[in-house]
Amino acid sequence: MSLSEIKERSLLVLKFVDKVCKDRGITYYLAAGTLLGAVRHKGFIPWDDDIDIMMPRSDYERLIREFPVNDDFEFMTLHNCQHFPFAFGKIIDLKTLKKEPLRKKYQNQGVEIDVFPIDNYPDDLKEAEEWCNTIKKTQDKMLRICAPYAMGRNLFRTIVKNIIVALVHLLDDIKIVSAHRLVIQLDKLSQKYNSQVTHYCGIAAIAAYGVKKRNRNDVFSGKAFLEFEGNNYPVPIGYDEYLTDYYGDYMKLPPVEKRQTHHLYKAFWK
């Protein structure tokens, strides 16, 4: 599939999800680079190739329960896919196939949009940093099992490291150490502070990116609508603060050499 075809199919998934959420009164927002694209480009970032959305944890769990059974799209999570290696969800276009630098059993089914739950962050900065670091360590362990190539070339520079990787994969295959157990652990870690009243929240499932990704609750105190590829979609009312937390001066374009996708996959029509 070409980049334009991947974008077209991703947008089709977004339109379907938007309708499902509207029909059921489920709150969601454009997230990360998709939100940045809406603000800066009124659509995809020209060199980007995916769509991200986020929603409060309670709405995320509702979408899991109420996602309509159909032949075109599937909502994949750790709850319904034995080898799903993420603590967030992916809504898959079942008419496509995607191949990534992952071990075969952790391959996803097709072009998708990522669905991130929003969880509470602790108020204390030091506590938040320690928590994010724990999540990062858990994610790194999981990557060594299901996506060793994503860990960098250093992993394969020595025979000893090759042997270690092979051993880890063997332990995964016989379920002594498994990515699935780690992703369940990661999911629980992400929800650690949801029973507490805090003043910060964010996408805890990828808190490995650091405490700077946490946002004040006021950022999500309401919603606005911005254009994305010709249609209006919901964004957090505090989207300027959200994007500043994530990207700093987000209206400034990156250097030309950095204007490239960070995803390593090929997509095909089935």
Which pLDDT belongs to residue 155? 45
C-alpha 114/C-alpha 91 separation (Å) is 7
Residue 52: the pLDDT is 94
CA pair distance 103, 105, nearest whole angstrom: 6
* Per-residue model confidence (pLDDT) at position 154: 47
Task: Please name the residue ranges forming H helices in the chain.
Answer: 3-24, 32-41, 57-66, 125-146, 159-173, 179-190, 239-247
* Burial letters 27-62, b for 16+ CB under 10 A, else e: bbbbbbbbbbbbbbeebbbeebbbbbbbbbbebbeb
Residue 108 is predicted with a pLDDT of 66
pTM for this structure?
Answer: 0.85
Residues (pLDDT < 70) of the chain are 101-108, 146-178, 207-210, 262-263
Which pair of structure tokens corresponds to residue 166? 């092979």
Question: Tell me, what DSSP letter sits at residue 253?
Answer: P
State how far the alpha carbon of 165 is from the alpha carbons of 101, 105, 156, 177, 180, in Å. 15, 16, 9, 12, 17
pLDDT in the model for residue 123: 95
Instruction: Say if residues 200 and 218 touch (Cβ distance below 8 Å).
Output: no
Return d(Cα 270, Cα 48) in angstroms, integer.
23
pLDDT at residue 234 in the model: 97
pLDDT score of 255: 80
Q: Give CA separation, 226 vs 127, 219, 234, 249, 250, in Å.
A: 35, 16, 7, 19, 16
pLDDT reported for residue 153 = 45
